[in-house]
């Protein structure tokens, strides 16, 4: 079986940015361990300077560069260039991980499964700035075109399944996001009072609510300190956060670490007392899954697919989005009770091992691939929905 994964993909496996890259990388690595699978990865980004093919073990990666000196956004240019690569590879099946990649596969005439990681029309509500909104609109368009034509969708959470079940005729399959075994081997070296936020620093992640919560918490937990691990691309929002920190006299309690490689990120999970994710929109955030696998308790907002990951009081604590007082209270509860932190962390790890272990998730993806291919091999069976 020849499988092609079309996805954003890390050029350096030690520097994986974003959930889509992480899922694609771990999925590809796991599939490549199956001796009867021929696994290809196709990706395109502005960071790729020239077309090339690299072989990593049994995994073949096709790096597709954008057109030189082109004013066409890579979101659009990649659609056509990746189609031509697929026509050369001739895969039995394509698993695309964004809307534009799904359209690339469909354009190449290849049976296609579209894994939906986020819901573009929901994310667009929280986009700020002309450039981000324009990019968001293009992603919404690609997503809508893809779900009208694709025959099979993989939903990474019941939230995705419910949302898309109302607007597509495609068959919907469920599969979790994978995490590698290393997270389950995280050695806990907890620093008292250390709180971790992991994610890109953008308004939709709700970090300003966490800053407000920290200002309330500071008087009762003197050692409380926040580490922010993630990209700092939105300068306007970062400026607002720094002004907020100054207003609440919290500059010495917050450390912006920027994007971290895998080993440094694992060290942050090792040393934090808890992870906090105060987002306004989420699907199935890898930060929560990685924290659970690392046996770290989580406080998160009750948005999107987060309640499917966290069982209140058992594998974490939930609050309503925008509720800074609720965040402060729950952080204080966990920071003040080491037994509760340990209990929730241990139970979270058990759940994560059963649901998100890489080999378990890879086996589920393979099961879906085989199910779809059986339909394709029947004469006249495959056509876009």
Strand order in the sheet with 152-155: 52-56, 59-64, 38-44, 2-6, 93-96, 112-116, 152-155, 171-174
Average pLDDT over residues 236-254: 96
Give me the pLDDT at residue 69, please. 54
Beta-carbon contacts of residue 188 (< 8 Å; ≥ 6 apart): 270, 294, 295, 296, 345
Give me the pLDDT at residue 385, please. 47
Average pLDDT over residues 359-375: 95
Over residues 194-241, the pLDDT tens digits come to 999 999 999 999 999 999 999 999 989 999 999 999 999 889 999 999
Q: Is the pLDDT of residue 15 over 90?
A: no
Structure-block tokens of residue 334: 């966990």
Average pLDDT over residues 104-114: 94
Q: Please report the DSSP string for 283-336 in residue order.
A: SS-HHHHHHHHTT--EEEE--TTHHHH--BTTTBEEE-TT-HHHHHHHHHHHHT
Instruction: Tell me the pLDDT band of 17, cut-offs 50, 70 and 90.
Output: confident
Give me the pLDDT at residue 71, please. 47
The model's pTM? 0.91
Q: Is the pLDDT of residue 124 over 90?
A: no
Instruction: Tell me the pLDDT band of 73, cut-offs 50, 70 and 90.
Output: low
Please report the domains of the chain, with CATH numbers, ordered by start residue: 2-178+357-377 (3.40.50.2000), 181-356 (3.40.50.2000)
- In angstroms, rounded to a whole number, what is the distance separating the alpha carbons of residues 64 and 46? 9
Q: Is the pLDDT of residue 35 over 60?
A: yes
Of residues 329, 334, 299, the one with CA closest to residue 316? 299
Q: Is the pLDDT of residue 381 over 70?
A: no
User: What percent of the chain has pLDDT above 70?
Assistant: 96
Place of tokens 């290849």: 110
**Choice among 161-165, 253-257, 338-342 with the minimum mean pLDDT:** 161-165
Spell out the alpha helix ranges (H) of the chain: 19-32, 74-89, 99-107, 120-123, 130-149, 158-165, 207-217, 235-247, 262-271, 286-293, 306-309, 324-335, 338-356, 358-377
Give me the pLDDT at residue 68, please. 64
Give me the pLDDT at residue 379, please. 43
- In angstroms, rounded to a whole number, what is the distance separating the alpha carbons of residues 266 and 259? 13
Decide if 282 contacts 205 (C-beta within 8 A).
no
Helix, strand, or coil (residue 80): helix
Residues of 166-185 as b/e, b for ≥16 C-beta within 10 angstroms? Answer: eebebbebebbbbbbeebbe
Structure-block tokens of residue 272: 């934090």
At residue 149, what are phi and psi to the nearest 5 degrees?
-110, -25
Higher-confidence residue: 133 or 11? 11
- In angstroms, rounded to a whole number, what is the distance separating the alpha carbons of residues 373 and 367? 10
């Amino acid at each position: 079986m020849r499988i092609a994964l079309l996805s954003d993909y890390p050029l350096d496996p030690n520097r994986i940015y974003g959930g889509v890259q992480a899922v694609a990388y771990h999925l590809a690595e796991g599939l490549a361990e199956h001796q009867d699978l021929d696994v290809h990865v196709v990706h395109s980004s502005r960071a790729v300077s020239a077309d090339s093919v690299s072989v990593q073990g049994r995994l073949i990666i096709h790096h597709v560069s954008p057109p030189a000196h082109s004013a066409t956004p890579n979101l659009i240019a990649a659609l056509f260039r990746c189609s031509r690569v697929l026509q050369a590879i001739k895969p039995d099946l394509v698993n695309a991980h964004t809307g534009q990649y799904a359209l690339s596969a469909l354009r190449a005439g290849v049976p296609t499964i579209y894994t939906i990681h986020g819901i573009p029309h929901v994310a667009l509500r929280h986009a700020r700035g002309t450039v981000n909104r324009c990019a968001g609109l293009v992603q919404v368009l690609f997503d809508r075109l893809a779900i009208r034509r694709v025959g099979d969708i993989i939903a990474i959470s019941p939230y995705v399944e419910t949302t898309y079940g109302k607007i597509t005729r495609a068959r919907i399959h469920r599969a979790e996001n994978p995490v590698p075994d290393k997270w389950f081997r995280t050695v806990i070296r907890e620093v008292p009072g250390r709180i971790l936020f992991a994610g890109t620093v953008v308004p939709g992640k709700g970090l300003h609510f966490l800053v407000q919560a920290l200002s309330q918490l500071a008087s009762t937990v003197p050692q409380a300190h926040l580490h922010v691990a993630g990209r700092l691309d939105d300068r306007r929002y970062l400026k607002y956060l720094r002004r907020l920190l100054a207003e609440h006299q919290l500059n010495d309690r917050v450390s912006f670490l920027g994007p971290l490689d895998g080993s440094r990120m694992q060290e942050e999970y090792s040393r934090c007392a808890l992870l906090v994710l105060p987002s306004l929109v989420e699907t199935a955030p890898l930060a929560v899954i990685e924290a659970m696998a690392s046996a770290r308790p989580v406080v998160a907002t009750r948005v999107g697919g987060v309640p499917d990951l966290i069982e209140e009081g058992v594998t974490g604590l939930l609050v309503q989005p925008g509720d800074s007082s609720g965040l402060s209270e729950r952080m204080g509860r966990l920071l003040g009770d080491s037994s509760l932190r340990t209990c929730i962390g241990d139970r979270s790890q058990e759940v994560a091992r059963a649901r998100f272990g890489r080999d378990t998730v890879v086996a589920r993806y393979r099961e879906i691939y085989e199910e779809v291919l059986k339909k394709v091999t029947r004469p006249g069976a495959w056509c876009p929905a």
